[in-house]
Structure 1
Amino acid sequence: MNPLVRPLRSTFNRSPLAARHRLGIRPAVCSTPLLQIRGEASSVGLKPGSQTLSHARQNIKEEAGNSASDLAKMIAGANVYSVKEAQSPGFLGITGSIASEVPKPVLMFGLAGGVPYIGAAATTVYLAHEAGLAAAGQLAHVDPGVAITILDQALNVQVTYGAVMLSFLGALHWGMEFAGLGGYKGYRRLALGAAPVLYAWPTLALDPTMALAAQWAGFTALWWADLKATSAGWTPRWYSQYRFYLSILTGTCILGSLAGITYWGPVGGHGLMDHELRTIRDMRKSLYAEHPETQYGNEMTVLKGDDTFTHLRKTEDIEREQAEKEGKKPEEEEKKNDNE
């Protein structure tokens, strides 16, 4: 028989009853206890997923562990290769696995670099407390102006060191580009290394408190850039986590300094000092309006000027000019003539 006709013949000879029996066959349904529990937890009967408190605690613990694990991966800039060797999938396991890869000299120098910042922040908080006491008159042997000046210098030291740290962290990317770590990236990685320098340098011209706030934002933004660079394979795989915890240290010092200044103060531009300066300025303007010329002793006289400056002149010079205008001799010349 022709093989082309055989399929047609078998089709016409097939029994409808057999077809109905074959259509009625269904695969066996797996009814294991695990699937039954899952079905009950997600059924329309509105039964909760946690039937008892122990189940609820277990679910919360598992969800918290998963969230902590995701947080550790995010901090480390994890990709598919960076956390596969972790002994434990939890937060401590991933963090410890990546931290163990940091070279010891790099870790030691990184921690040592944070010591001056801790010292500068602690000094700033202490001097802010002392300046606040001096401004309130509670320190009899400390001049408020001197205390505020020393505090301002301590803030400038902290701001300067912060600008140096930002510039150094950016320069690390130039070193990675020179070494070809992760391949040569060209202008992109060089621009990433130069951006912190261009950001940190102008902060030196700001008021110390504004400079600290700007540098805190700079450290945060630079860590985010390092996170993206680590995820892209531009840095060692431990670099993002290493930078994160050092940035936490630096940010804590900055926020601690700002909190100490705000709580104790005062510094130039701070609320208490600014209020005192405004009060003195208003008082001086009112006195000048009532007394245009104020004489201090017999030597110097303060003359009222415009809103931007005042005149400080010798009293005898003012008297001589007035006598010349009136056509009279000054009193001193008359006394000399009488003596002669």
Structure 2
Amino acid sequence: MAGDLVLLTGGTGMIGFKTLVEVLKAGYKVRAAVRNQAGFDRIASLKPLAPYVSNLESIIVPDITVPGAYDEAVKGVKYVVHVASPLVRPVDTEEGFQSEVIQPAIRGTVSILEAAHKVTGIERIVITASILSVASFESLASGVKTDEKTRAVNTVGPYASPVNAYQVSKALAFEATNKFVAEKKPAFSVINIMPAFVVGRDDTITDASDIVKGSNAFLIGPLLGHARDQPLIGAVVHVDDVAKMHVQSLDSSIVKGNEDFLAYSPPSIDWADSFEIVKRRFPEAYADGVFKFESVPRPITAPVNVDSSKAEKTFGKFKSFEEQTVSVVEHYLELIGRK
């Protein structure tokens, strides 16, 4: 209910920041858990938060993996939105995969569940999982149907790459969540939002040179002439839709109880379609040579068969790949002074 206090983690990242803005916009008060005060100060200074700073406070949680990490953070809150989780790390050893990616993902999630279980008054926790929580890249690329009930990730090591370790981290964190709910039967309900590749304007990016970081790099990279030599699955979703799903999941009249939802915008896309979208929607910038995609091979896409009808029935229609592309490109043109 609007006015209630929400604990939100991961607010300094793309999904977390957009969700933070939307939670505040919906009328909630927010306690943002951050690793350090500098991170909070940076996001608090960003323009989208300006109208809502009076309803925003911070709490420092320097290490989400230590026992009791969130014990203070959960006091007095009614809802939790847990977005924070490690991204792909540049490590190449089994020890590194475990210490830098897999265990932090599991412990960060379990820690917040444990903290919430120790107090009274928390009604719901919404967790940012991933489509990789239920289906590996290999499974998705095979074209086998994927929905919320899919379980197609091999979590047994050794792990071949940082990307492999990342998808295992999402699957094991999801398993740990389900195990916690089944064994502890907490008073609160848990909602898992499982996005595909998240694309769209990222307001935490304020310098054009940083726009090729994060998941938007898969879209904007080739447009700016950065060749991609590996196929990529054609599963995307707009960051606006992901944020909307998190906010609406706080409302028990929309989402009743423990549920999982894939965040995916059908149909399966071809990443190379972004080239034609740019030519059509931004003809002047294209003619002026702002975009360099003519100089690189067309990116290869592996089609997917993902069924997001459950989420669409609950939250409504997702934004299209064209809307995603336009959102990112408009932001880039703004950053370089072309808009």
Quick check: TM above 0.5?
no
- By relative contact order (CA 8 Å, sep 6+), the higher-ranking structure is 2
* TM-score between the two structures when normalised by the length of structure 2: 0.22
- Which has more helix, going by share of residues? 1
* TM-score between the two structures when normalised by the length of structure 1: 0.22
